Amino acid sequence: MPRRGGPIQKRSLPHVTKVLAVASGKGGVGKSTVAVNLAFSLAMNAEHAPRQRPRVGILDLDIFGPSIPKLMALENVEEPQLTDAGAIVPIVNHGLPCMSMGFLLPKAPGTDSSADTAVVWRGLMVQKAVQQLLFDVDWRDPDGGAGLDVLVIDMPPGTGDVPLTLGQLVNVDGAVIVSTPQDVALTDVRKGVSMFQKISVPIVGLLLNESYFICPSCTTPHELFGPPAAFRATAARFGVDVLGELPLVPGVSRGGDRGVPYALHSANGADGTTDLGGKEWRQTMAGVAGQVWQFLSK
């Protein structure tokens, strides 16, 4: 046992090679949607042959407002099974293993879902739940026993207990910070960058979501939430790369509501989207995934 008051030793997660945190200082900027689509984009990375593509999983660390069950169409699943050793077995949909606090909560009376179940916990209980989600999940493939090449962690907004617990206990290989163009979002982004720097988590880069909307009839980009100049200035101030600027595409929201991430639509061509905005979104997300993979492969 470590001596009381001694330094906390970071460690790797069981059966996980690389850990990528997707964060935002502010809620409501599309961070969870980006995290899910980035996970699928990494899994379908064009640099790899189909049989050599990385095995990717996603972990939802938002204890109070988990979004992954909705985004992955897993709202009505039963509680995860346990291994013989007592570890939690992730739930798989669309070929991607997932874990979320939403899978462990009791269902609301008269419903088949835990979406309306509130988590009313103090800090110590939150920290215990976070540690269980981090270290007590068996990410190995049940068929082949292979672990994950990359675990994408959907972080809660803010700079509270959860990101601090992650940064102190886990070897995090990189963080992607998501924002929208508004100054109120960028203010919290700057706090998020400072937090990751303080806990020695390398920042892969900043990603601007809902940067512009391309009108289908006039094909003209409209910056609905303001120009990206302040976002780019924030990245330059901290010496952080800009990974990309995603356009506002209605299909991304519709896919999330149905539990079918837009990255799968773009891969399979099932959404029927041929507009310029959808094309640019797909190209940008693929570019972001490529940059993230190169960073993690260093």
Determine which of 94-103, 117-126, 277-286 has the lowest per-residue pLDDT on average. 117-126
Backbone angles phi, psi at 176, to 5 degrees: -110, 130
Q: pLDDT value at position 158?
A: 79
Determine which of 100-114, 141-155, 194-208, 283-297 has the lowest per-residue pLDDT on average. 100-114
User: pLDDT tens digit string along 133-172?
Assistant: 999 999 999 887 889 999 999 999 877 788 888 988 999 9
Could you tell me what percent of the chain has a pLDDT over 70?
93
Q: What is the number of domains present in the chain?
A: 1
**C-alpha span between 131 and 86 (Å, rounded):** 15
Bridge partners of residue 174, in order along the sequence: 20
pTM (two decimals): 0.90
Q: For residue 3, is pLDDT > 70?
A: no
Question: Does residue 281 fall inside a structural domain?
Answer: yes
Tokens at 123, concatenated: 């800090």
Bridge partners of residue 56, in order along the sequence: 150
Question: Does residue 3 fall inside a structural domain?
Answer: no
Angle between helix 161-169 and 183-198 (nearest 10): 30
Burial of 206 (0-12, 13-18, 19+ CB in 10 A): buried
Q: With helix as H, strand as E and coil as C, how does 188-231 read?
A: HHHHHHHHHHHCCCCEEEEEECCCCEECCCCCCEECCCCCCHHH
Q: pLDDT value at position 124?
A: 85
For range 96-125, the mean pLDDT: 82
Q: Quick check: 238 and 177 in contact, CB under 8 A?
A: no
Angstrom CA distances, 255 to 55, 258, 289, stand at: 22, 5, 19
Burial of 98 (0-12, 13-18, 19+ CB in 10 A): buried
Q: pLDDT value at position 12?
A: 94
Backbone angles phi, psi at 93, to 5 degrees: -145, 145
Q: Which of the pair, 143 or 212, is modelled with greater confidence?
A: 212
User: pLDDT tens digit string along 13-67?
Assistant: 999 999 999 998 788 899 999 999 999 999 987 566 566 789 999 999 998 889 9
Full domain range(s) for residue 29: 16-297
Question: Does residue 10 fall inside a structural domain?
Answer: no
Question: Does residue 69 fall inside a structural domain?
Answer: yes
Burial of 152 (0-12, 13-18, 19+ CB in 10 A): buried
For range 72-82, the mean pLDDT: 92
Backbone angles phi, psi at 150, to 5 degrees: -140, 130
Q: pLDDT value at position 47?
A: 67
For range 60-86, the mean pLDDT: 92
Q: Quick check: 266 and 237 in contact, CB under 8 A?
A: no
Question: Does residue 59 fall inside a structural domain?
Answer: yes
Q: What is the CATH number of the domain that holds 82?
A: 3.40.50.300
User: pLDDT tens digit string along 86-109?
Assistant: 999 999 999 999 999 999 888 777
Determine which of 9-18, 119-128, 190-199, 264-273 has the lowest per-residue pLDDT on average. 264-273
Angstrom CA distances, 10 to 33, 39, 52, stand at: 28, 24, 30
Q: pLDDT value at position 49?
A: 58
**C-alpha span between 211 and 221 (Å, rounded):** 9
Q: Which of the pair, 175 or 184, is modelled with greater confidence?
A: 175
Question: Does residue 9 fall inside a structural domain?
Answer: no
Q: pLDDT value at position 177?
A: 95
Question: Does residue 7 fall inside a structural domain?
Answer: no
Question: Does residue 219 fall inside a structural domain?
Answer: yes
Q: pLDDT value at position 274?
A: 54
Tokens at 286, concatenated: 């693929």
**C-alpha span between 170 and 195 (Å, rounded):** 15
Q: Quick check: 258 and 92 in contact, CB under 8 A?
A: no
